[in-house]
């Protein structure tokens, strides 16, 4: 009785029709769903090209995007590998196949192994083959032909368990993988090949219930070799001469079909058997890859690290050292950062590439929470600790993706009076020594950029003083290779001057003079050098004292690096291009004619961007509980904007966000960003400067309060770092506490004025009593907070802030129809400053010094009168005066100076005697720091 043909063509068509229907249905739910395949072909062999055309046609019919990337046979292995890597990193590509064979000069193993396991839809890579070969392995993709063979066997209805299967051929493409699949189906498998003796082969074949032939020898297997009723799958594709065919040849398999079909029960024809199935399985694998890609986008999950709590609580650096961090690559994987988007700096920190924003542009943002505080004591009230503890609670204990976004600490406070800024206790960023010191060098890059610009300005002044216009122009635009050309940055100055000429030789003498001579007025220079240390002796210096400077000395001073406008630009930029533009328009001084002189006028914008091009990428770290942290930018909050970067927030909001087909209420993650010091400082600037620049709107404000600080504002004695706390802070005193709650109430009112719900986080110390906590709750709710929740994250980690986290998540769901900023940009500079001072500080008025008034008039004249305002002032009072505690009123805010940060995009007013570079105390923090030379570990950091 003739064997039943296994119609691979019909089975494959049914599968392909199902794939087409499946894709259409998924696209109705998710318009972004577009499975994509790229075929890489080297050379133009006719048989390979035929296979490629067949695959492309089938893919297009199934609504799978298919692209052919062709290379000549002369392509190098390195070029091909580079292209494979680019395809691996392209999120729009779901499947990659390399058409084999490759030229002998290229290693097939190297190329196929380079294809990402996630996109290896041929199943030929090390990862997939290895998983397939191992018992219990789970390959992402099974090679297409073996996968098709198994479906054809299933169509016969055979139960493979216990059957004897003989596989002819041991190639990595068919023979070996199909043998693994048969073994996994509990068949007994014998592999034969060209070296198997004829006698042994015939003997073995006689016992086979199933024969899979893939030896590539025309009509090799005879019917007389087969066991009656055997199932025969012929994988062979061979051409033999045939004068009856127009081509002179015909296609046959490895099996002599005529004789075998008289013995077998089922047999595949050639053509029309395995071949169509191979293509169908390729399409199936591409769809599976696309499905897996979209599933991975949704399956982000943070695996928390357990805490081993101790009592009494060890010092911060001891706690940090006792926790073994996860590799930063693992943190990135958990939150959905792709390997090519991560740039590790060692094992536990990395930069994240901004291209991630484009990849995740389709996502809804996660919830956005800003943590700020009441007016602190010199000891700090745990705002950073609360930021970290709250993020640990949400990510490690409530199971949502949550990022803490914090600033990079300056080495000034680290070695000075305040210490590091990693948080504290069991709510801190680790490794805390790496966090608090150089990190990835961002502050050093800012310092270099800032000081390059300072050097460039004074160098230009020197050369202008010693050269004629013609000589200056000749040196600025020299002849090179017989031709004079403007460099790229010069076209920015030409455009500013209204000169549209592109040939340097076409400029008139007047245009040459305007272009080449900046004519800086030394009295108007505002750009100062910076250093990332506390050094009071650099507040006022004289530069240009060397005899080589020909008497061009002047008085100036240093700021601390984190007060540099370059730092503010880093924090407020929305992209690398935006940073380039902001750096270029920074104003350094005025000309003697009163025109603003910018960084691009000096030709420095490109160089500064080059120094900061890596610094613009946020730094990824982790908390003690292994939850993600972005550390980026470090502007001080008393003398700058006091917020981490817009880009860190935007990246985190996308990583914590939801796909279009996910329920945001159930799945949305959270970004906890920190604003420095109290709400009237970092918080006010977060809204009026940062949100204005980013376009983002927060869902909730968290105001951190402590019983200790509120008692200070209620009339308690001053607190001195290093000294024992007075008794009022160690024992219950409800009266002083309630009196001090006016400070908290003022901050709540200020925060509520933006139309965003406010939650008070009561950072609980072990000395706080239940009665005191209840007083803070009562006063917070009376002031308009939606909730006031005690938390003990310092001692308990995220578990101690779970109630706070739940309250914050609830507050994030409250609509914000009345969101608004404190002021618009249409009024005068004085009106904007008064809006801050009167509404937020409680002042009666703002008073400008003559210098401040003169500078404001200059800025307005130059066209910079409509910028937001940053008022640099003390952090120890809502007012400008550190002695005024509580919620003072009726005072005058004296503005002694106003500087301009045109690149960052705000005016920078200095109130009272605020310093822009701090000094060191009598007993600085560096006294405690030592390095264990045996292990290289840093001790004594706090």
Spacing of C-alpha 348 from chain mean position: 15
Amino acid 249: pLDDT: 85
Domain assignment present for residue 575? The answer is yes
Task: Give the pLDDT confidence of 800-815 residue by residue, as tens digits.
Answer: 999 999 999 999 999 9
d(CA 289, CA 125): 15
Spacing of C-alpha 419 from chain mean position: 27
Q: Which residue has the higher pLDDT, 928 or 68?
A: 68
> Which residue is it, tokens 């960084």?
599
Residue 779 above 70 pLDDT?
yes
Tokens found for residue 861? 């004249």
Domain assignment present for residue 182? The answer is no
Q: Which residue has the higher pLDDT, 66 or 932?
A: 66
Residue 936 above 90 pLDDT?
no
Closest to 427 measured CA to CA, from 384, 470, 472, 398? 384
Tokens found for residue 347? 């094992």
> Which residues on neighbouring strands pair with residue 759, listed in sequence order?
702, 787
Reported as half-sphere exposure (CB side, CA atoms, 13 A), residue 793 has a value of 36
Amino acid 665: pLDDT: 87
d(CA 218, CA 251): 9
Among residues 612, 627, 662, the one where a domain terminates is: 612
Task: Give the pLDDT confidence of 270-326 residue by residue, as tens digits.
Answer: 999 999 999 999 999 999 999 999 999 888 999 999 999 999 999 888 899 899 999
- Mark whether 460 and 563 lie in a shared domain: yes
d(CA 373, CA 383): 7
- Mark whether 639 and 778 lie in a shared domain: yes
Mark 795-833 as b/e (b = at least 16 C-beta within 10 Å).
bbbbbbbbebbbbbbebbeeeeeeeebbbeeeeebbebb
d(CA 326, CA 621): 10
d(CA 504, CA 514): 13
- Mark whether 466 and 432 lie in a shared domain: no
Helix (H) or strand (E) holding 231, with range, is strand 231-234
- Mark whether 452 and 421 lie in a shared domain: no
- Mark whether 637 and 778 lie in a shared domain: yes
Residue 183 above 90 pLDDT?
yes
Domain assignment present for residue 884? The answer is yes
d(CA 61, CA 716): 79
Q: Which residue range forms the structural domain that includes residue 40?
A: 1-120+283-299
- Mark whether 642 and 705 lie in a shared domain: yes
Contact yes or no for 642/572 (Cβ under 8 A): no
- Mean pLDDT, range 693-719, rounded to an integer: 96
Domain assignment present for residue 206? The answer is no
Contact yes or no for 825/813 (Cβ under 8 A): no
> Which residues on neighbouring strands pair with residue 743, listed in sequence order?
none
- Mark whether 738 and 804 lie in a shared domain: yes
- Mark whether 511 and 461 lie in a shared domain: yes
Backbone angles phi, psi at 400, to 5 degrees: -110, 155
Mark 835-851 as b/e (b = at least 16 C-beta within 10 Å).
bbbebbbbbeebebeee
Q: Tell me the CA end-to-end span of the chain in Å, nearest whole number.
A: 87
Provide, rounded to the nearest whole percent, the portion of the chain with pLDDT above 90: 82
- Mean pLDDT, range 885-892, rounded to an integer: 96
pTM confidence score: 0.92
- Mark whether 799 and 881 lie in a shared domain: no
Amino acid 921: pLDDT: 77
Task: Give the pLDDT confidence of 400-421 residue by residue, as tens digits.
Answer: 999 999 999 888 777 776 666 7
Reported as half-sphere exposure (CB side, CA atoms, 13 A), residue 712 has a value of 23
d(CA 867, CA 902): 8
- Catalytic positions, please? 55, 99, 122
> For residue 661, what pLDDT band results from cuts at 50, 70 and 90?
confident
CATH for 551: 3.30.1510.10
Helix (H) or strand (E) holding 213, with range, is strand 210-213
- Mark whether 375 and 396 lie in a shared domain: yes
- Mean pLDDT, range 48-74, rounded to an integer: 93
Domain assignment present for residue 263? The answer is no
Task: Give the pLDDT confidence of 10-60 residue by residue, as tens digits.
Answer: 999 999 999 999 999 999 989 999 999 999 999 988 878 888 999 999 999
Tokens found for residue 368? 């956005």
d(CA 186, CA 180): 10
d(CA 840, CA 159): 79
- Mean pLDDT, range 105-125, rounded to an integer: 93
Distances, alpha carbon 747 to alpha carbons 371, 703, 785, 806, in Å: 12, 8, 10, 22
CATH for 110: 3.40.50.10860
- Mark whether 622 and 642 lie in a shared domain: yes
> Which residue is it, tokens 């980026």?
632
Task: Give the pLDDT confidence of 817-838 residue by residue, as tens digits.
Answer: 899 999 999 999 999 999 999 9
Q: Which residue has the higher pLDDT, 31 or 749?
A: 749
Among residues 560, 582, 612, the one where a domain terminates is: 612
Closest to 191 measured CA to CA, from 199, 224, 208? 208
- Mean pLDDT, range 474-498, rounded to an integer: 95
d(CA 432, CA 322): 11
Mark 459-483 as b/e (b = at least 16 C-beta within 10 Å).
ebbeebeebebeebbbebbeeeeee
Q: What is the CA radius of gyration of the chain?
A: 35
- Mean pLDDT, range 751-767, rounded to an integer: 96
Q: Give, in degrees to the nearest 5, the angle at Cα 769 between 768 and 775.
A: 95
Closest to 624 measured CA to CA, from 909, 199, 939, 331? 331
Residue 424 above 70 pLDDT?
yes
Average pLDDT over all residues of the chain: 94
Q: Which residue has the higher pLDDT, 866 or 245?
A: 866
Task: Give the pLDDT confidence of 598-656 residue by residue, as tens digits.
Answer: 999 999 999 999 999 999 999 999 999 999 999 999 888 888 899 999 999 999 999 99
- How many C-beta atoms lie closer than 10 Å to residue 568's C-beta? 28
- Mean pLDDT, range 775-791, rounded to an integer: 98
Residue 136 above 80 pLDDT?
yes
d(CA 69, CA 61): 19
3-class secondary-structure state, position 871: strand
Tokens found for residue 573? 């930029």
d(CA 817, CA 754): 10
Domain assignment present for residue 233? The answer is no
- Mark whether 638 and 720 lie in a shared domain: yes
Amino acid 418: pLDDT: 60
CB-count burial class (<10 Å; 0-12, 13-18, 19+) for 65: middle
Domain assignment present for residue 180? The answer is no
* Dihedral angle sign, alpha carbons of residues 470, 473, 477, 480: positive
Amino acid 412: pLDDT: 72
Alpha helix segments (H runs only) across 360-422? 383-392, 411-415
**In 3-state terms, the chain is what percent helix, strand and coil (to 5)?**
40, 15, 40
Among residues 787, 813, 839, the one where a domain terminates is: 813
d(CA 381, CA 704): 7
Counts for the chain of helices (H) and strands (E), in that order: 35, 37
Residue 354 above 70 pLDDT?
yes
> Which residue is it, tokens 């000069």?
105
Residue 373 above 90 pLDDT?
yes
Task: Give the pLDDT confidence of 916-926 residue by residue, as tens digits.
Answer: 888 887 777 77
CATH for 644: 3.40.50.300
> Which residues on neighbouring strands pair with residue 191, listed in sequence order?
167
| Domain tally, the chain | 4
């Amino acid at each position: 009785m003739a064997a039943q043909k296994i119609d691979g063509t019909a089975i494959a068509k049914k599968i392909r029709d199902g794939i087409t229907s499946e894709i259409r249905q998924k696209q109705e739910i998710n318009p972004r769903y577009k499975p994509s395949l790229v075929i890489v072909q080297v050379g133009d062999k006719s048989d390979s090209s035929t296979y490629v055309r067949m695959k492309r046609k089938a893919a297009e019919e199934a609504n799978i995007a298919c692209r052919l990337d062709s290379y000549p046979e002369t392509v190098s292995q390195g070029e091909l590998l580079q292209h494979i890597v680019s395809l691996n990193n392209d999120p729009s590509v779901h499947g990659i196949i390399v058409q084999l064979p490759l030229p002998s000069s290229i290693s097939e193993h190297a190329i196929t192994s380079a294809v990402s396991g996630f996109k290896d839809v041929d199943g030929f890579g090390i990862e997939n083959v290895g998983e397939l070969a191992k018992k219990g392995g789970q390959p992402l993709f099974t090679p297409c032909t073996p996968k098709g063979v198994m479906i054809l066997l299933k169509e016969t209805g055979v139960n493979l368990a216990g059957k004897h299967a003989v596989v002819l051929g041991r190639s990595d493409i068919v023979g070996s993988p199909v043998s693994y699949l048969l073994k996994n189906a509990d068949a007994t498998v014998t592999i034969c090949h060209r070296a198997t003796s004829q006698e042994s082969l015939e003997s073995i074949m006689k016992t086979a219930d199933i024969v899979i032939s893939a030896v590539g020898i025309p009509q090799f297997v005879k019917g007389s070799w087969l066991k009656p009723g055997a199932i025969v799958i012929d994988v062979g594709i061979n051409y033999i001469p045939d004068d009856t065919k127009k081509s002179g040849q015909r296609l046959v398999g490895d099996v002599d079909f005529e004789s075998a079909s008289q013995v077998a029960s089922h047999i595949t024809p050639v053509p029309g058997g395995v071949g169509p199935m191979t293509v169908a399985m390729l399409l199936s694998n591409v769809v599976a890859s696309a499905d897996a890609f979209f599933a991975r986008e949704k399956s982000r999950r943070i695996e928390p690290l357990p805490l081993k709590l101790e009592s009494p609580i060890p010092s911060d650096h001891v706690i940090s050292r006792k926790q073994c961090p996860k590799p930063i690559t693992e943190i990135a994987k958990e939150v959905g950062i792709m390997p090519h988007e991560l740039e590790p700096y060692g094992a536990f920190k990395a930069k994240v590439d901004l291209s991630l924003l484009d990849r995740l542009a389709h996502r809804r943002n996660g919830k956005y929470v800003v943590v700020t505080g009441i007016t602190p004591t010199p000891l700090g009230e745990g705002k950073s600790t609360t930021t970290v503890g709250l993020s640990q609670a949400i990510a490690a204990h409530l199971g949502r993706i949550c990022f803490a976004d914090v600033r990079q600490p300056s080495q000034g406070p680290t070695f000075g009076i305040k210490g590091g800024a990693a948080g504290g206790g069991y709510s801190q960023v680790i490794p805390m020594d790496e966090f608090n010191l150089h990190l990835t060098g961002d502050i050093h890059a800012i310092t270099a950029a800032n000081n390059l610009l300072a050097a460039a300005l004074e160098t230009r002044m020197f050369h202008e003083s010693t050269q004629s216009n013609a000589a200056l122009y000749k040196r600025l635009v020299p002849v090179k290779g017989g031709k004079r050309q403007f460099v790229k940055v010069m076209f920015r100055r030409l455009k500013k001057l209204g000169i549209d000429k592109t040939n340097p030789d076409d400029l008139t003498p007047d245009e040459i003079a305007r272009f080449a001579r900046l004519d800086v007025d030394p009295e108007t220079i505002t750009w100062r050098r910076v250093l990332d240390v506390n050094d009071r002796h650099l507040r006022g210096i004289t530069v240009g004292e060397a005899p080589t400077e020909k008497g061009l000395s002047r008085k100036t001073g240093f700021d601390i690096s984190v007060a540099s406008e370059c730092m503010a630009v880093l924090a407020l930029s929305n992209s690398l291009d935006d940073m380039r533009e902001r750096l270029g328009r920074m104003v350094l001084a005025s000309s003697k004619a009163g025109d603003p002189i910018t960084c691009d006028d000096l030709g420095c914008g490109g160089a500064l961007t080059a120094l900061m091009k890596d610094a613009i990428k946020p730094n990824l770290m982790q908390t003690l509980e292994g939850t993600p942290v972005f550390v980026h930018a470090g502007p001080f909050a008393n003398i700058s904007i006091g917020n981490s970067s817009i880009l860190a927030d935007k990246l985190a909001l996308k990583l914590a966000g939801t796909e279009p087909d996910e329920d945001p209420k159930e799945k949305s993650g959270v970004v906890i960003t920190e604003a420095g010091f109290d709400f009237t400082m970092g918080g006010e600037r977060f809204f009026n400067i940062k949100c204005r620049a980013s376009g983002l709107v927060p869902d909730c404000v968290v105001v951190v309060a402590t019983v200790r600080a509120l008692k200070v504002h209620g009339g308690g004695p001053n607190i001195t770092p290093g000294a024992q706390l007075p008794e009022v802070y160690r024992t219950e005193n409800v009266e002083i506490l309630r009196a001090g709650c006016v400070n908290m109430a003022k901050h709540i009112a200020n925060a509520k004025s933006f139309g965003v719900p406010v939650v008070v986080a009561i950072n609980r110390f072990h000395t706080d009593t239940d009665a005191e906590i209840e007083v803070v709750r009562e006063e917070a709710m009376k002031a308009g907070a939606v909730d006031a929740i005690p938390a003990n994250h310092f001692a308990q980690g995220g578990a101690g802030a779970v109630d706070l986290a739940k309250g914050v998540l609830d507050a994030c769901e409250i609509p914000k129809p009345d969101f608004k900023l404190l002021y618009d940009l249409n009024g005068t500079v004085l009106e904007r400053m008064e809006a801050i001072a009167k509404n937020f500080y409680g002042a009666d008025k703002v008073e400008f010094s003559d210098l401040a008034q003169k500078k404001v008039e200059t800025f307005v004249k130059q066209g910079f009168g409509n910028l937001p305002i940053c008022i640099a002032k003390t952090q120890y009072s809502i007012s400008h005066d550190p002695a005024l505690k509580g919620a003072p009123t009726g005072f005058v805010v004296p503005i002694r100076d106003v500087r301009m940060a045109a690149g960052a995009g705000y005016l920078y007013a200095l109130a009272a005697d605020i310093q822009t570079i701090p000094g060191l105390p009598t007993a600085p923090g560096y006294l405690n720091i030592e390095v264990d030379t045996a292990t290289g570990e840093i001790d004594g950091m706090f």
